[in-house]
Structure 1
Amino acid sequence: MVVVLTVDQRDSRSHADEVPDLLARLAGAPGLLRPFQRTVGDEVQAVLADADAAVGTIGLLLRAGGWSVGVGVGPVEEPLPADTRAGRGAAYLHARDAVTRAKSVPHRIAVGGEDYRAEQLETVLWLWAGILERRTDRGWEVVDALDEGLSHVEAGRRLGISQSAVSQRAQAAGLVDERRARRLAGDLLADLLAGPAGSTPNAPRTEKEDRR
């Protein structure tokens, strides 16, 4: 079981080709079984097997904006060919259906999979995307600083604001909500990758939310 991400540039006929920049940004993404490659037109595709790595890459795409994202989860024909575009199997078909549907659904991201859990994951990704879409540049400054491991005091010093201002911006940015949504997305995707529903259930992770 793998994750295939098929990503298509929105409004490509009225905008410059942004695929080269996206490929450069995603070249070092962790957990890639097969790297992002341009398929046709303004579309790129990659294959991943790790849930957390896939969710991290999805987060980068959501933050970048301007892309329709199709997430396909399922088996593929093995061995995988060296060329990402040459792969075959259900995960590729699910990703193709998902990216087509993503062009007309909220937040421009959709998930295709083997059972009902794909819809559950899609719902969580919509909630996560909604948080990111509302986040301001000031919110991102605080979130990026805290994600580096800085305390609220240290982040305030870097940004030239008070500790209370850091807390206020983090709350307005939906930091805690986003972290929970992201972790739940990772859990759901890991469960999908484990196989058919009920075959190899994954216990939810219990890591406490970091509320710095």
Structure 2
Amino acid sequence: MIVLTIDQRRSRSTEDKVEALVKQANATVSVVRPFQRTAGDEVQAVLDDANEAIRLAVMMAASGDWSVGLGFGQVETPLPEETRAGRGPAFEFARVAVERAKNTNAHLAVHGPSHEATRLEAELQLTACIVSKRRATAWEAGTLADEGMTQQEIAKELGITQQAVSSRLSAALWFEANRMMDEAAKSLNRQLNMLKEQ
């Protein structure tokens, strides 16, 4: 299982964003146990979809508003209905990871029962740093690209040239970052499958 522990940064000097995150994440992400406030400005959820977990972790960390800890491993079953009542190594790994994330430039850390966690962390930290530097215009073009539109179609939709679309996607390393997250998800899925076989 995957446990995400997400802690709001600068919570004492900014508005509480936890409830909005909980509502939005539970409406858009497939979860085994829902996003729930655990203590103070912290949120936790249990997932089994590596792709969704990784993309959410990167996007939350890249926003600059959150420190994100991704833990993977075994959990005690049956899982309780309340996310915050969950126990097991994956929960402990997520706790270690979020504390470490608070002291990184990427605001993201990964912890798990294998050395693969170290490589995953390096990949996702770099990806989060890349994503954090994207401009609004890159998000505009990239989101349409992710929906399957061609650069010509995006250019027509946005009222710009195809060259401008290409420039925005290239400057944002849009496809490269997506590929990095896809490969990280495959790696995490392999780790989860190995854990199931133990």
| Shorter-chain TM-score tier | over 0.9
Gaps of at least 5 residues in structure 1 are 201-212
Match of residue 190 from structure 2: 191
Match of residue 97 from structure 1: 96
For normalisation by structure 1, the TM-score amounts to 0.88
- Aligned-pair distance for 1:63? 4.6
1:124, 1:184 within 8 Å by CA — same for their partners in 2?
Answer: no
Match of residue 128 from structure 1: 127
- Give the whole-Å Cα distance in 2 for the aligned partners of 1:6 and 1:62: 11
Match of residue 10 from structure 2: 11
Match of residue 32 from structure 2: 33
Report matched runs for 1:117-156 at 5 Å.
117-156=116-155
- Give the whole-Å Cα distance in 1 for the aligned partners of 2:59 and 2:21: 10
Gaps of at least 5 residues in structure 2 are none
- Give the whole-Å Cα distance in 2 for the aligned partners of 1:193 and 1:119: 15
Q: 1:106-153 CA deviation, whole Å, 9 max, x = no partner? A: 201001100110011101101111210111111111101111111111
2:61, 2:107 within 8 Å by CA — same for their partners in 1?
Answer: no
Match of residue 205 from structure 1: none
CA RMSD of aligned residues (A): 1.5
SS in 2 for 1:194: helix
Q: Which amino acid aligns with 1:103?
A: K
- Aligned-pair distance for 1:56? 3.0
Paired residues, number: 197
Q: Which amino acid aligns with 2:36?
A: Q
SS in 1 for 2:140: helix
More deviation, 127-136/35-44: 127-136
- Aligned-pair distance for 1:192? 1.8
Match of residue 167 from structure 1: 166
Q: 1:152-187 CA deviation, whole Å, 9 max, x = no partner? A: 111111111011111111101111211221111111
- Aligned-pair distance for 1:53? 2.3
2:57, 2:108 within 8 Å by CA — same for their partners in 1?
Answer: no
